[in-house]
Amino acid sequence: AAHDGVLALIDVHTDSADDDLAQLRERSTGAFAEELSGGSVGFAASIRDAAVNSDGRIDSAALVSEDGDSGVVIVAASAQVGNADSPTATARSYRLRVTIDEVEGRLLMSSVEFVP
């Protein structure tokens, strides 16, 4: 769930911004889903306006802790990112702490934090 959710977050493209955001919403719950709802129109528009094309991949993921219907996963990811200001794609690296909650039998992201 963390793998698919983070990939939905960092693998976004100008031509599919609305679909990309819909996939991210499908993988989210709780506070993270609320954050997406609050700025989702602006998020998709900013991807289109800035001509963002980000080809993301998950490099590794590990379960840090688990408690009942919730768990924390650390994800290392990377992407080749280009945009209107920098059309030549550059490499980006991400480390994220993702909280996963089980909701009605589905594992969904409830919190995503970038970590140094």
At 50-108, the pLDDT tens digits run 999 999 999 999 999 999 999 999 999 999 999 999 889 999 999 999 999 999 999 99
Domain span at 107:
2-114
Distance CA 15, CA 2 (A): 24
Taken in order 31, 35, 38, 41, the sign of the CA dihedral is: negative
Q: Is the pTM of this model over 0.85?
A: yes
At 74-86, the pLDDT tens digits run 999 999 999 999 8
Distance CA 93, CA 114 (A): 11
Number of domains comprising the chain: 1
Distance CA 68, CA 47 (A): 36
At 6-28, the pLDDT tens digits run 999 999 999 999 899 999 999 99
Q: Angle at CA 29, nearest 5°, toward 55 and 114?
A: 50
CATH number of the domain that residue 33 is part of: 3.10.450.50
pLDDT band at 40 (very low <50, low <70, confident <90, very high): low
